[in-house]
Amino acid sequence: MNAPVKRIKRRVDGVLLLNKPVGITSNTALQIAKRLYTAEKAGHTGTLDPFADGLLPLCFGEATKFSQYQLEADKCYRALLQLGITTTTGDPEGEVLQCLPVTASAELIQTTVAGFIGDRMQTPPMYSALKHQGKPLYEYARAGITIDRPARPVSIRAIEINNLNLVEATVDITVTVSAGTYIRTLAEDIGSQLGCGAHLTRLTRLASGGFQLAQAVTLAQLELDNTPTRDARLAAADGLVNYLPQIQVDAPGAKLLMQGQHPLFHAEIEQIGLLRAYHEQQFLGLVQVQADGRLIPQRLMSSRTLLETL
């Protein structure tokens, strides 16, 4: 019997904008994409629940250095709320807890939904991947154990009602939120304020940071691609942090940065903090700009090839 052929993994760098289908986990989607690219190193930028679909940025190679910063970017979702029914998970995968009549008028629903815009405190759901003593909360929830979760600040940037169906008691919304906001919890909170309860029945991520679902590719499309076409779909790593301000660094400063030193930035600095650093069109990585104008490297691209060009 012939031994199975072992795939030779290769260095792949960049960001794949994947349109994750309903029914699989984000990690399953990642492993499929990693296999198709025969990539050495890959990771995702935050999970989508199995019942949800839409934009899932996946990172390969050098881009994995910046995946954590995409977690901090704003997200945009389209969600369908079912009023009058609550579930154990806040989504269609849970068991029904309660059914109540929906008596709120269209005007009251519209006013209530709009009232959630702004900064607020939100308690993360038990059915989430947040860790407690090294275990995700959903493992405790499945065992019937409730863990105390402190509320944390989130921001609902915008909510638009796309469709309101009083007969079926559903509300179709598009919502833009800060990082760490749970749309399932938002749906439950809206239902609670209306006095009838609610859960999420559909969720699609439309945008993450500067990435849009319209740019994404499906797994089925990737399967059909040849290697050059597949590679051409990858976006540059700096797209993961394109919501941060940027600065241009001259060649001597860029060389010092890539050597781990702290060059002095001579141009006028509009703000201090975390910024994207470039030399001409070349992305160097992220730097912390100090009040005295010094650049402290935080996350840098590989210096192997960059130093040769400086």
- 198 sits in the region (left: phi over 0; alpha: psi -120 to 50; else beta) called beta
220-226 long-range contacts (CB < 8 A, ≥24 apart) are 222/33, 222/36, 223/36, 225/36
Is the separation of the CB atoms in 265 and 291 below 8 Å?
A: no
DSSP string, 69-87: HHHTS-EEEEEEEEETEEE
CA dihedral 100, 101, 104, 109 (to 10 degrees): 50
- Of these residues, 13, 49, 53, 238, which one is catalytic? 49
Q: What is the DSSP letter of 244?
A: S
For 162, residues 6+ apart whose C-beta sits below 8 A from its C-beta are 78, 172, 173, 174
Order of strands across the sheet that contains 282-289:
246-248, 273-279, 282-289, 295-300
- Is 231 one of the catalytic residues? no
> What is the Cα–Cα distance from 194 to 15, expressed in whole angstroms?
41
Closest CA to 225 of 54, 60, 10, 18: 18
Just list the catalytic residues: 49
